[in-house]
Amino acid sequence: MSKHLGMDIRVPIECDNPSIQRDEEKCIKCGQCKNICQDYIGVHGTYTLEETGDKAVCINCGQCANVCPVSSIHETYEYQLIQEEMKNPDKIIIFNTSPSVRIALGEEFGMADGSFVEGKMVALLRKLGAKYVLDTNFSADLTILEEGTELIRRLTKQTKPLPQFTSCCPAWVKYLEIYHPDMRDNLSTAKSPIGMQGPTVKTYFAKKMNLDPTKIVNVAVTPCTAKKYEIRREEMCDAGKYLGIEGMRDMDYVITTRELAKWAKEENIDFASLEDSSFDPLMGEASGAGVIFGNSGGVMEAALRTAYEIMTGQNAPADLLNYTPVRGLDDVKEASVEINGMTVNIAVIFGTKNASEFIEKMKNGDKQYHFIEVMTCPGGCIGGGGQPKDTKYQGD
């Protein structure tokens, strides 16, 4: 164990990083990557290479790539692997899109920030070779139900410790495993939306559509570089376990918003002129709850509304959450909610360094928190490491 922060370096630390690649020749030594990793993510500077056996600690969030002005650091590209899969006519290519992609992809093609391009995004994926295009919001609904009911069990039956932390951000999960290993039981046991979408496609969807799961090439399209790491975790092979197919991963590839745009540009596709298309049915529909996953606070609100409705049998009021900033901590908000006479204290945090400071403050304080959302990236997934470049931390 490292001396710092109770750090547990037995958690996988990859030399071959599945999320991030670095092209040394392009590097202009501006230090932006180091700054964000140290000041916002809270990883750089917390260990020495002696302690880790010469391995860099990385939580795969990709914020270093997002701020790199010369793209010396970029996501590990997987779209060429999908192109290879497409050469086999037996393969069934299924794309699953996360909520934050459809409101950021347009920027890569010169459209105004925040343009809603869901129809064009689906059309683009069909043009690139999709057999089916599904909406990961379908599984965001599953995640919300799981997290909401798990919270109820923790609140009413004390099945596991409180507070319950959200677990849908893989970079945060990895950060907690490394820096706060004593709090692993506080993490929700629910998989992330992509973690649930993968096996659901290869079991439920495959059965309904009469598809051979071994022929499915399941691709997540996300704002997130950490998902490239998450789908390769050992827990992410549940469909294979269920179906008795050895070595089958639930989700085969992850491409980011930027990567999708790069692929489309290489194919000379005129994005702006694409006719809108719609998601395929069955797993192309979702409630509005999943849509707000893309913003910090969205997971918390959706799960808490679900818990409220299950516990009280009534619709949650529109003003259920009334956040206030936590004094002395940037990017941390908290609120209290009354449910069936119980006061439920919650917090919403973005940035893992903020989360660490909050945990230390919580451990040294008297207040009982019940539910805490942590998302690694600025503003949540909308500011993910695979989104169109953010200039917020580039000093302009």
Summarize as ranges the residues that interact with ligand SF4 (CB under 6 A). 61, 169, 171, 223-224, 226, 375-377, 380-381, 384
Catalytic residue among 34, 207, 215, 235: 235
Catalytic residue among 227, 228, 333, 353: 227
Q: Which is nearer to ligand SF4, 226 or 303 (CB)?
A: 226
The reply to whether 237 belongs to the active site is no
The reply to whether 84 belongs to the active site is no
Q: Which is nearer to ligand SF4, 292 or 339 (CB)?
A: 292
Beta-strand runs (E) in 234-298? 253-256
Catalytic residue among 168, 169, 224, 237: 168
Report the nearest approach of ligand SF4 to the CB of residue 315 (Å).
Answer: 28
The reply to whether 334 belongs to the active site is no
Catalytic residue among 188, 192, 277, 296: 188
Catalytic residue among 75, 108, 150, 357: 150
The reply to whether 33 belongs to the active site is no
Report the nearest approach of ligand SF4 to the CB of residue 211 (Å).
Answer: 28
The reply to whether 360 belongs to the active site is no
Q: Which is nearer to ligand SF4, 20 or 239 (CB)?
A: 20
For residue 209, give both structure tokens. Answer: 């559509």
The residue number whose beta carbon is nearest to ligand SF4 equals: 384
Report the nearest approach of ligand SF4 to the CB of residue 294 (Å).
Answer: 8
The reply to whether 146 belongs to the active site is no
Report the nearest approach of ligand SF4 to the CB of residue 136 (Å).
Answer: 12
Task: Report which of 111, 387, 104, 395 is spatially closest to residue 255, judged by C-alpha positions.
Answer: 387
For residue 358, give both structure tokens. Answer: 């909050």
Burial 13-46 (b: 16+ CB within 10 A, else e): beeebbbbebeeeeeeeeebbebbbeebbbbbeb
Burial of residue 158 (CB within 10 Å: 0-12, 13-18, 19+) is: exposed
The amino acid occupying position 121 is M
In whole angstroms, what is the distance from residue 142 CA to residue 155 CA? 20
Alpha carbon of 135 to those of 138, 160, 201, 283, 329: distances in Å?
6, 32, 11, 6, 35
For residue 290, give both structure tokens. Answer: 């999943």
Q: Which is nearer to ligand SF4, 20 or 286 (CB)?
A: 20
Four-residue CA torsion sign, 22, 331, 148, 371: positive
The reply to whether 150 belongs to the active site is yes
Q: Which is nearer to ligand SF4, 32 or 296 (CB)?
A: 296
The reply to whether 29 belongs to the active site is no
Preceding omega of 18 cis (within 30 degrees of 0):
no
Residue with tokens 């950021």: 104
Catalytic positions: 147, 150, 168, 188, 227, 230, 235, 381
